[in-house]
Amino acid sequence: MRHARWRSFRCRDLLVRAVAAAACLTYVTHPLADEASSSTSTSPIFGIGIPEGYREWQLVAVAHVTEPGPDRLKAILGNPLAIKAMREGTRPLPDGAILTKMAWRAEQHPEELNRTLGEPRAYLPGEPLALQIMVKDSIRYASTGGWGYAEFVNGQPTGESRHRECPACHAAGATIRQDFVFTKTAANFAER
Ligand code: HEC
């Protein structure tokens, strides 16, 4: 098992450098990727796992996307580093910033609720479709604008070709000025 030998060598190496032993269990190869490598499977090309505790992160914004594909509702969350930079308008975002995007199939409210609302055009997040992740590490991901990408469907990473598309589309047009990030922080009610 060449893999196992490589991993144990890697872990010994990390331990010698006094890096936490826990990191060995997650096969982390770069300290900044710790937070995003907590799941057992990681994305092709970028090696990013589902970040631990990401559901507790704060909201950047929501999105409603229709075509192509099914009608989807999305929530974009950020870890504390990302949220601070997004709110302050800091570009580029600092290393260690992580953004996640959860997409659900938009499903109509149950019929009774539609009747209560008086019209059938209210939607809720239904079936989970995909979880997408962007991790900022300007050294490790230098060739893709400093961002590593990951997409999970049913908890499993999608294929390599999908992951090749991520940086290409995120580098489109005006997005480069926004450090490859499309979403802007949703307006704050308290300030309006
Ligand atoms: C065809 C263009 C396109 C491709 C390909 C694409 N994205 Fe995006 N991405 C977007 C757009 C547009 C948004 C803004 C929100 C939305 O519409 O979903 C976005 C938003 C995001 C966000 C929230 C932060 C932001 O930039 O707004 C993450 C995280 C993300 N994408 C990850 C990925 C990953 C991972 C992949 C590859 C598996 C990927 N994206 C592929 C267009 C793309």
CATH 1.10.10.60 fits 31-191, yes or no: no
By C-alpha distance, which of 45, 59, 64, 32 is closest to 135?
32
Average pLDDT for the chain:
81
Which residue is closest in CA terms to ligand 1's atom 12?
A: 182
Percentage of residues of the chain with pLDDT beyond 90 = 62
Nearest CA to ligand 1 atom 32: 132
Which residue's CA is minimally distant from atom 22 of ligand 1? 101
Q: Which residues in 94-103 are b (16+ Cβ under 10 Å) and which e?
A: eebbbbbbbb
pLDDT digits (tens, 9 = 90+) for 86-119: 999 999 999 999 999 999 999 987 766 656 666 6
Domains in the chain: boundaries? 31-191
Q: Using the mean position of ligand 1's atoms as its centre, give its distance from the Cα of residue 94 in Å.
A: 19
pLDDT on residue 15: 39
Parallel, antiparallel, or unpaired for β 72-78 and 156-157?
Answer: unpaired
> Do 152 and 128 form a contact (C-beta atoms < 8 A)?
no
pLDDT for position 120: 61
